Amino acid sequence: MPNILDIAKLVLPLVAGIIMGYLLREKKSLNLGKITSGIILVLIFSLGFTMGSNGELLAVMPNVGVTTIVLLALALFFSILFVKAAKKLVRI
């Protein structure tokens, strides 16, 4: 099970943001494009850093190549296919 604190860490800022955004909606238009773009880059950089510093992960990569690529490609293909079908089915 995912840790309750990990979930709260994600849900709380999101909910706080939605409430604050809702309260501020009549105010001047919010321009956060540049700030969010900057933070996305920090996030992606730290994600890459975590992977690059994980020696075990880098070591196993070459040994499981073909199986990994086939399973990944098919899991992605069928996920997209089923989501497209679900959209039609429930008319989203």
Residues 16-75 that bind other proteins (CB under 8 A): 16-25, 30, 32, 35-37, 39-55, 57-58, 60-61, 63-64, 66-68, 70-75
Minimum CB separation of residue 30 from other proteins in Å reads 6
Total residues interacting with other proteins, rule: CB under 8 A: 71
**Could you give the CA distance from residue 86 to residue 92 in angstroms, rounded to a whole number?**
8
Spatial neighbors of 28 by CB under 8 A, at least 6 apart, are: none
Q: Does 8 bind other proteins (CB under 8 A)?
A: no
Q: Does 5 bind other proteins (CB under 8 A)?
A: no
Spatial neighbors of 86 by CB under 8 A, at least 6 apart, are: 92
Minimum CB separation of residue 55 from other proteins in Å reads 6
> Are 57 and 51 spatial neighbours (Cβ–Cβ below 8 Å)?
yes
